[in-house]
Amino acid sequence: MRKPTKVLLHNDRTHDLADKLKERFPTIEIGECNTYENLPDVIATFEPDVVYAIRFAGSDGYPVAAFFAENGPRWIANGGAGTDHLGTWDPKRTTVTNAAGVAADMMAEYVLGCFLHFSLDVPGLQADKAASIWRPRFVTPLKGKTILIVGLGHTGRSIAAHAKAFGMTVLGTRMRPTKMDNIDQVYPSVQLLDVLPQADFVAVSTPLTDQTRGLIGQNEIGAMKSGVILADVSRGGVIDPSALLSALQSGKIAGAWLDVFETEPLPSDSPFWDLNNIILSPHCSAVHDQWEQDSFDLFLDNLQNWENDDPLFNIVDPNRGY
């Protein structure tokens, strides 16, 4: 008889998840760990087959080594989309899956919210209100404008669908270009410099990999239109922060919504805090009131495959980073 699968839940709120897991899989053995510090000992003593993990306190002290120890779990189900915090692993020994797509629509709403914020000159309206000035403002509709989406995974494709609903011309870049719904033209990533000058709005939604680190640097920002609007919902490190800061200070980039930074939390002395032409959010564009539940439901469906000896979905290639 097959031994019951051992599943370790690793996040800062495990109890509700444990109840739901037990309800669907009554024979599974469940372990819980809600701190980074205790994870190595819990893995060593509980010896889970599977770990469902959500990074809940940033990267500092994240116990990556415990996941990939010699007697570590065979499957790590990452509750978010990005896996750059896990480093590299041997896919022959450990399978890593992610929750890509769970928050794609929410992140797309962030991006379109950014574009509307600046195209409707909300900052100007707020300034006039604060000064008790009644002054009509001429605004710029999104219809007919061009958006470039850098990275066409689940989030990028959702951004494209939302942008099309506003009547925008949608361009995109990806490693292997192919025709996609809601995207007028898909270019290979190597043509990014050639495509950037066409865009009135740029959305960055690519994962952080060795190939995408520093993807948007001084040359790429220099190729953008003057007055472009930027939304970054990728990962800190994809955009060169020095080049970005300079472009925002000069007005080359007229406005931006920045959800990710190379160092998180963003240090209190960072000059980004002083900019008036950005919206800054603390890496939360994927967070909504159903996000954790949706992520866990996706895991439960994948766990059913595991129990049935069927192939897992959303497997991450450590060499590609997604």
Give the active site residues. 235, 264, 283
| Spatial separation of the C-alpha atoms in residues 120 and 137, rounded to whole Å | 9
Which residue matches tokens 């270009």? 177
DSSP letters, 109-166, are HHHHHHHHHHHTTHHHHHHHHHTT---------STT-EEEEE--SHHHHHHHHHHHHT
User: Which of left, alpha, beta for 215 (phi over 0: left; psi -120 to 50: alpha)?
Assistant: alpha
Residues 160, 182 contacting (CB under 8 angstroms): yes
Show the tokens assigned to 304.
């059913």
DSSP, res 47: -
- Measured in residues, the chain has a length of 322
| Spatial separation of the C-alpha atoms in residues 108 and 111, rounded to whole Å | 5
Show the tokens assigned to 28.
């599974």
**Which distant-in-sequence residues (6+ apart) come within 8 Å of 295 by Cβ?**
54, 79, 80, 99, 102
Which residue matches tokens 């739901």? 20
3-state secondary structure of 293: helix
Name the helix (H) or strand (E) containing 299.
helix 291-307
Closest CA to 87 of 189, 171, 239, 209: 209
Indicate the burial class of 193 (C-beta count within 10 angstroms; 0-12, 13-18, 19 or more): exposed
**Which distant-in-sequence residues (6+ apart) come within 8 Å of 165 by Cβ?**
none
